[in-house]
Amino acid sequence: MRPIRIVLGKIPRLLRDIVVEVIGSESDMRIVGEAESHTRVDDLLRSAQADVFVIDDSAESEAGGRERLVREHRRLRVLVLSDRGKAAECHWIEPHTALCLDVSPDQLVSFIRMSFDGGAIR
């Protein structure tokens, strides 16, 4: 099975470092790109064949909004981290939205996997 391919969007540096460390320790996940600018997000998502796009809620509108992203990238899950990474929402086309109120390292990993395992957070 191929790893879950993750692209990071615009995220505050400290939160980005935490996300990179958490995902980097998982054997079934790979960060395959980082989009510092919203102007190249769509190209990067396509070329990286991303499964998950992680973005901070303050920068989400710059990337075109979660609804547009999941409509145009039908396999994509958009994980929107809230202010300072205290909570997250995951969106995908089915349509489906899941809310995670505990964004600890274990829950972040579970939240990413959840979108591929039928929606149940472990």
Residues 44-83: tens digit of each pLDDT: 999 999 999 998 887 666 656 777 888 888 888 888 888 6
Nearest to 91 by CA among 106, 109, 73: 73
pLDDT of amino acid 38: 67
Which has the higher per-residue pLDDT, 99 or 17? 17
CA 32 to chain centre: 12
pLDDT of amino acid 46: 92
| Owner of token pair 């790979």 | 30
pLDDT surpassing 80 at residue 95:
no
3-state helix, strand, coil in the chain (%, to 5): 40, 25, 35
Nearest to 51 by CA among 11, 10, 5: 5
Query: Given pLDDT bands bounded at 50, 70 and 90, which one contains residue 120?
Result: very low
Which CATH fold topology does 4-114 show?
Rossmann fold (3.40.50)
Q: Which two tokens stand for residue 32?
A: 């395959």
Whole-model pTM over 0.85? no
Q: Say if CB 70 and CB 91 are below 8 A apart.
A: yes
Which has the higher per-residue pLDDT, 31 or 65? 31
